[in-house]
Structure 1
């Protein structure tokens, strides 16, 4: 019998106006000890998989072995030099956002552009303030990075009225829908994670979903994909799901405390689910609380810290990846088109699933910077743009 529970965690208004500085690998002695503790709830090596788990295994493995090739544009207009671009980031304390911001600065530099990052600090009011400041400063183009257009609607209206080219990264659906977005298959990410959990638990999934309230794409992308699988009795008749919500402004504290309390209240929970900037914090909290062996984590983004957690067997067991730096170059390419009055194009962003069995395919650079897509996209875009390093 399925169980889906939803709770809304309260938070103060003041909490929404700050985004704490990202903690960098604050492990301590508890981490060293946790390396030696095997994670429970794994399927026994000789246990036969149920038909549902076998089907889930096949589906998950497809995303672990898919061939990566260039499916992006074959041509691009010559870049206009000397442009000033503002990137309004949802929250730079989240590494998935910070990776894209850094790469947009890098790509812009190759084109002779000045790219400035404005941190929205996990707060829609701060994001709207940043957007309006970019409009006032008369930037040549503006990028909204994981910022829902409906939460900054007055700034969006001003940008469009001022005829400033506006593009988004990772928002799935924009208002108005004439604003172009660079995205990938979010639902496929979510489906793959659900199938992986079913496979590795032989259909016995009791998942804690840590659902962010600010990211439209997470709620309507990855979560939809995961939910559609875990709540389908034909795919997992015994799956149980508990949903806990939290705001981006509380990323440094709330996901970890929610997970710790949930495990203490219900020891039958065997999986946790959220994007990697959240999952890495959950992992730290469980390690510090001595609960690292009680739950496995399924994340998405495959940031460097999460890749190391997976490699070391510390809570997070799997992550669904998009090459975030590739995403950023794709945004810059489409923004160049917009500023020249040309339509944007499908950038063909690939996706992949990583666990301990295939993480060895990543280079040392990817382990320290996140998955790069298995292709030299930087060289491909530089060739399109006619520029050197």
Structure 2
């Protein structure tokens, strides 16, 4: 600045008033800009320091899953797909959008390969699921997918499929019996941990959570719920957290979760969070809205289906969801099933996960808002390239 002033001094004698005015305005402008720039910093620091140390740690953990970079971590090669295969998908319950999304995408992926893919709806009933599996075996399908179906509840059909040497693979079951049956999964416990951390962060450690735990899905009980429970029941992470668990069967998904949540909230107004997968949480949200209780509880879900994403955007009960790209999961199943049918081992498909709330939901495309998160990567093109079917 001194050098500039000296240079200006050469002509300032002719117009000292002008120079002084210009410099005065420049200094004032710089000061104003500096003050404006500091305002959000001051506010941010104030917001952070208002959190307990536990809530601050939870905030950091949750935000990581909201911003982590998405890259292709799937396979780098795949055997050339066999043409003309017939595949049966035994779905746990097509009324649940999380299952229906995967089913539709497997049909789509199969069509790309020239396969005939049929969906058999298990209707949320283990007996119906076992019946569907046995019918697929009787029809001599070339491969069978169990979608969110616990292998222990359909053990009769599983034994028949293995005896018939029909390639069998699961989607989203976490653990299979026998454990030689491959599964396509992602980090379920990480989903649960992220939701717990989000609740702690947003409630500053004062979480009173209603857990709506499905009795049929092994993966929910031993995946997401384990992750959430390990955080919420750890006094080092949340000394004041309270948890109430209510169980319900998949066959009652359309009515029971909503009625349980409504009754629980009326009996205990201190409940401030509800937790379950999105096909359940969307029904809970509808029930609470209809009962005039939508402002009394926030929802934490997982799957990030289209209805839940809209509820989050609109600020209607559900506040956050943990996402896996369900269509990506489906393509991964088809890729591994192709390997199985050619006598090759399955591979880790590197499926990503993400956390969405009202602050980052704007990063989703219109297509994702109506179909669910797609993973932030063109996985369809990646699989077509793997299969040698680039357009």
TM-score by length of 2: 0.88
Question: Residues of 2 paired with 1:131 and 1:162: CA distance?
Answer: 13
Q: Is the 8 A contact 1:2 1:238 kept in 2?
A: no
Question: Residues of 1 paired with 2:210 and 2:380: CA distance?
Answer: 37
Deviations 1:92-144 (A, max 9, x none): 00000000000000000000000000000000000000000000000000000
Q: Is the 8 A contact 2:12 2:19 kept in 1?
A: no
Q: 1:238 to 1:75 in 2, by over 3 A?
A: same
- Superposed displacement of residue 387, structure 1: 1.3
Deviations 1:142-179 (A, max 9, x none): 00000000000010000000000000000000000000
> Which structure is higher in helix share?
2
- Superposed displacement of residue 367, structure 1: 0.3
Question: Residues of 1 paired with 2:201 and 2:289: CA distance?
Answer: 25
Q: Is the 8 A contact 1:63 1:352 kept in 2?
A: yes
Q: Would you say how many aligned residue pairs link Structure 1 and Structure 2? A: 389
Question: Residues of 2 paired with 1:250 and 1:4: CA distance?
Answer: 78
Q: 1:346 to 1:156 in 2, by over 3 A?
A: same
Structure 1 residue ranges without an equivalent (≥5): none
Q: Is the 8 A contact 1:18 1:249 kept in 2?
A: no
Structure 2 residue ranges without an equivalent (≥5): none
Q: Is the 8 A contact 1:270 1:295 kept in 2?
A: yes
Deviation beyond 4 Å, 4+ runs, structure 1: 1-47
Deviations 1:18-39 (A, max 9, x none): 9999999999999999999999
Larger relative contact order (C-alpha < 8 A, sep ≥ 6)? Answer: 1
Deviations 1:155-211 (A, max 9, x none): 000000000000000000000000000000000000000000000000000000000
Question: Residues of 2 paired with 1:20 and 1:131: CA distance?
Answer: 87
- Superposed displacement of residue 274, structure 1: 0.1
Question: Residues of 2 paired with 1:261 and 1:223: CA distance?
Answer: 22
Q: 1:316 to 1:344 in 2, by over 3 A?
A: same
Q: 1:89 to 1:196 in 2, by over 3 A?
A: same
Q: Is the 8 A contact 1:323 1:351 kept in 2?
A: yes
- Superposed displacement of residue 10, structure 1: 93
Q: 1:184 to 1:7 in 2, by over 3 A?
A: farther
Q: Is the 8 A contact 1:351 1:373 kept in 2?
A: yes
Name the larger-Rg structure.
2
Query: Could you say what the CA RMSD is over the residues aligned between the two structures, in angstroms?
Result: 20.3
- Superposed displacement of residue 344, structure 1: 0.2
